[in-house]
């Protein structure tokens, strides 16, 4: 019969460090409780609160819950775990709220009960993604746009203070994250996406010193027409230029642009030039050229940064890359007239990844 190990922790471990793990009893695998961590939201509006919830399967009463920050451990291609504040003694509640989170971060949980207390293993770590960059770790994309053709050479660069990096990807179809070495070509602090199939994924960097970068959504399409839009949120007052790209062509003219399904430009130009964007410019955009319609892209607009003094009175509000937990699925039809142009192939790609509802 397959058996599993439970662990007993020592109460003498200094605060902020992990607990000593000593195997004390073996249980049949069928009786081994498994913690499952749920995070909400999974895409963060920087500065908002994040709720962690830990479920033990099979359900039972009497558990205490311990909450951990998942810190990248590049040498082991894994994570190490550090107790979160106020979690040294565990919580009776099966949830834990983190206030004012701004950056991408990873979390895990475990549960314990009995006297002496026995602990389950750690849950699978979950990542809360944020579009906010930080000096210690930042992800850059080249070409700098959200959507790409399957034939494109897309490079991801990790920038920051660390000497070692790994690029991670999460795709709904695989339900877990993986390293660049599993799906791309690694070169020092960069990664080249190798893909011949259409998909939407979240990408981010993890540093050897334990930091997470901002996260970005990148869609690889097997379409012939794409909207060229910024991969990062635009700042209020900034200039943004949207254009339309046809596979194999460099410059287009007579392009039609739509904002939230409303026509905004229909003339001889090939670009939509917005000299000073505002919150009203946030939304979904798409383009049409020669009877073909591109997939839509979300453009987020974030407020101008406030001063340190102002920040104490007014929380800076951002729009995430995906407008919070908004999830819109595109169903792209095969050849045939859609009423606003003709789609050239058939595929269904979600406009968001990894969403969870509160």
Residue 337: inside a domain, yes or no?
A: yes
Is there a contact between 115 and 165 (Cβ–Cβ < 8 Å)?
no
Last residue within a domain, chosen from 128, 157, 178: 128
330 and 243 part of one domain = yes
199 and 241 part of one domain = no
The number of beta carbons lying within 10 Å of the beta carbon of residue 232 is: 19
Nearest to 311 by CA among 107, 46, 11: 46
Number of domains in the chain: 3
Last residue within a domain, chosen from 128, 153, 185: 128
Residue 357: inside a domain, yes or no?
A: no
Query: Where in the sequence is the domain holding 31, given as residue range(s)?
Result: 3-128
Is there a contact between 131 and 103 (Cβ–Cβ < 8 Å)?
no
Contacts of 264 (CB under 8 A, 6+ apart): 257, 258, 272
* CATH assignment of the domain containing 265: 2.60.40.10
Q: What 3-state DSSP class applies to 345?
A: coil
Q: pLDDT (tens digit, 0 to 9) for every residue of the chain, 358 residues total?
A: 333 334 334 333 333 344 444 344 444 444 689 999 999 999 988 889 999 999 999 999 999 999 999 999 988 889 999 999 889 999 999 999 999 999 999 999 999 999 999 999 999 999 999 998 877 899 999 999 999 999 899 999 999 988 899 999 998 776 678 999 999 999 878 999 988 888 899 999 999 999 999 999 999 999 999 999 999 999 999 999 999 999 988 889 999 999 999 999 999 999 999 999 999 999 999 999 999 999 999 999 988 765 444 443 333 323 333 333 333 333 222 333 333 444 444 444 555 454 433 3
Last residue within a domain, chosen from 179, 201, 222: 222
In the block, which residue shows the tokens 């979600």? 350
Residue 355: inside a domain, yes or no?
A: no
Nearest to 69 by CA among 39, 27, 112: 39
pLDDT score of 351 = 52
188 and 120 part of one domain = no
């Amino acid at each position: 019969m397959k058996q599993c190990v439970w662990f007993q922790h020592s109460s003498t471990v200094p605060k902020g460090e992990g607990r000593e793990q000593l195997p004390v009893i073996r249980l049949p695998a069928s009786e081994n409780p498994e913690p499952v961590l749920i995070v909400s939201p999974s895409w963060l509006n920087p500065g908002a609160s994040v709720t962690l919830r830990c479920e033990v399967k099979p359900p039972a009463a009497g558990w205490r819950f311990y909450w951990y920050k998942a810190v990248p451990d590049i040498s082991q291609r894994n994570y190490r775990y550090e107790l979160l504040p106020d979690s040294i003694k565990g919580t009776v509640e099966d949830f834990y709220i983190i206030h004012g989170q701004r950056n991408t971060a990873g979390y895990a949980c475990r549960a314990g009960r009995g006297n002496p207390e026995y602990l389950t293993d750690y849950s699978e770590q979950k990542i809360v993604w944020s579009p906010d960059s930080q000096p210690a770790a930042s992800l850059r994309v080249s070409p700098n746009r959200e959507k790409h053709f399957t034939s494109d050479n897309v490079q991801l660069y990790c920038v920051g203070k660390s000497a070692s990096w790994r690029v991670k990807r999460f795709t709904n179809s695989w339900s877990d994250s993986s390293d660049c070495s599993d799906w791309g070509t690694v070169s020092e602090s960069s990664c080249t996406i190798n893909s011949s199939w259409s998909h939407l994924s979240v990408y981010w960097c993890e540093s050897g010193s334990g930091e997470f970068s901002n996260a970005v959504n990148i869609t690889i399409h097997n379409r012939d027409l794409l909207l060229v839009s910024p991969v990062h949120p635009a700042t209020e007052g900034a200039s943004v230029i949207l254009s339309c790209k046809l596979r194999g062509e460099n410059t287009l003219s007579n392009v039609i642009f739509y904002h939230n399904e409303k026509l905004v430009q229909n003339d001889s130009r090939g670009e939509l030039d917005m000299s000073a964007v505002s919150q009203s410019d946030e939304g979904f955009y798409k383009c049409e050229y020669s009877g073909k319609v591109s997939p839509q892209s979300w453009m987020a607009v974030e407020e101008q940064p406030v001063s340190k003094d102002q920040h104490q009175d007014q929380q800076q509000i951002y729009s995430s890359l995906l407008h919070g937990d908004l999830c819109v699925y595109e169903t792209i039809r095969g050849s045939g007239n859609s009423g606003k142009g003709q789609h050239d192939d058939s595929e269904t790609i979600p406009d968001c990844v990894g969403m969870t509802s509160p």
